[in-house]
Structure 1
């Protein structure tokens, strides 16, 4: 896999996908959106990859939409705007639905559509120097396409404030509202990300995949008989799986499970 707007490195069981348009603060254009979508679909099917890190080069993580792309959009018809938004939506879904766990490593400012990128990931580690902003309202727009992911990540109450005010807020505030999971000093970002990735790749690959799907399927659902039955089926399925059986056997026999090689 080779890209014009990204860098991809696979080391061991971990793929690191890096946004690589630092001269424009890693802002989106059509090429980057298409390449991110392709990368996550392919990495999701990569047998050797057990976790994906989404990172960025340069001082900013992602500044949202590229200015030249915005200039083009200003002249779009309604149908062209719909098609353009659908491509962004496909990219976010590709990240969110990737069967591998995805860790966002946010080293710099993250604005607008960049917040959608982060929200679609499973775990986010941020530098304490980073800032966040849902800036769309300043431009007469709304963060519609990214909203399903951002609202899941920060909750409705915080979304009411930051969607409406377009305020810039700190990494500590992002931590407080639950948008990011961990905030560390800039020089500790790599180590903190590596610790999380190490935990992910130490676990059963199948269990991690199914646990990710469990959160997505169960979160926010009403507690019904159907949901209870579904969760009972899921645990029966995983207990009966090869990795489920191997995990229990290795625990009882006090040895490492087979997926650790």
Structure 2
């Protein structure tokens, strides 16, 4: 398989994905969603890899949605494919691991929160910036709340401030911090790669029923569509892309 936004390597039951849009902050666009979805489909197959490892770049894991693409089009993107990608990461019959270096923002937090295990380097940071643009992270919240609880997700949303890797570990958004992150990954893979894939699939299907991600989906998608259909919000995004000014700035 050839990709535009990522690279993939399979070896010994482990699928390693590296995002390759570093110049764009590994931002999430339609191609990114489609390509990562194809990888997830392959991992979900009975004969597919049992572990999926996601890497960003040294300075940014994922900066969230692609504002450049949003500003360049009047079309409101359907949020369902992204939500469903995260849902399959959270519920699929494989172990999804995010290895985080650098910055994680907005939809990048959703991607991380959807993974089963999050390992980070000490310089990593995590932020929800949506309210700066008159948005809120409707699709991120079901996955984030599952990890950190309602109040911490509420605080991240309202503050729009980044938290450190150490804070993310304390809150449960990260499961381990190590420099380099590969040290923690190697230790985890010693056992994770040996777990029975069918057992993992059964366990995650059971957990999916407890997490309520499917029940949260209609409201999350409806809120996202409403916000991104607002002309004032879209104008603010275009201005930020063109002038790097927030909506309230003169």
TM-score calculated relative to the size of structure 2: 0.80
Contact 1:3 1:35 survives alignment (8 Å): yes
1:191 corresponds to 2:183? yes
Give the corresponding residue for 1:250: none
Q: Which ranges in structure 2 are unaligned for 5 or more consecutive residues?
A: 213-250
For CA contacts below 8 A with separation 6 or more, give which structure has more relative contact order: 2
Asked whether the equivalents of residues 37 and 95 of structure 1 are also in contact (C-alpha less than 8 Å), the reply is no
- How many angstroms does 1:218 deviate by? 3.4
Aligned mates of 2:136, 2:154 — CA distance in 1: 12
Alpha-carbon deviation of 1:2?
Answer: 1.8
Q: What CA deviation, in whole Å up to 9, does each residue of 1:175-206 have, x standing for no partner? A: 11111111112x2x112112112211122222
**Within 5 Å, which residues of 2 pair with 1:239-254?**
none
The aligned counterpart of 2:63 is 63
2:123 aligned residue? 129
Report how far residue 87 of structure 1 moved. Answer: 2.3
Conservation of the 8 A alpha-carbon contact between 2:92 and 2:205: no
1:175 matched to 2:169? The reply is: yes
Does residue 216 (structure 1) correspond to residue 208 (structure 2)? The answer is yes
Aligned ranges 1:201-240 → 2 under 5 Å: 201-219=193-211
Judge conservation of contact 2:43–2:50 (CA < 8 Å) in 1: no
Helix, strand or coil for the counterpart of 1:41? helix
Over the aligned positions, Cα root-mean-square deviation in angstroms equals 1.6
Corresponding position of 2:159? 165
Q: Which residue number in structure 2 is paired with residue 36 of structure 1?
A: 36
Whether contact under 8 Å (2:93, 2:197) holds in the other structure is no
Which residue does the alignment assign to 1:25?
A: 25
Counterpart CA distance in 2 for 1:88 and 1:218 is 21
The correspondence for 1:147, drawn from 141, 144, 147, is: 141
Give the secondary-structure state (helix, strand or coil) at the position aligned to 1:18.
strand
Distance in 2 (CA, whole Å) between partners of 1:16 and 1:71 is: 32
Q: Rg bigger for which structure? A: 1
My pick for the range that moved more, 57-66 or 99-108, is 57-66
| Alignment coverage as a number of residue pairs | 212
Mark the runs of 5 or more structure 1 residues left unpaired by the alignment. 221-261
Work out the CA distance in 2 between the residues paired with 1:150 and 1:43.
23
TM-score (norm 1): 0.76
Distance 1:59 1:109, change over 3 A: same
Contact 1:125 1:183 in 2 (8 A): yes
1:257 aligned partner: none
Q: How does 1:91-130 map to 2 (within 5 A)?
A: 91-130=85-124
Q: Which moved more, 1:114-123 or 1:87-96?
A: 87-96
SS at match of 1:179: coil
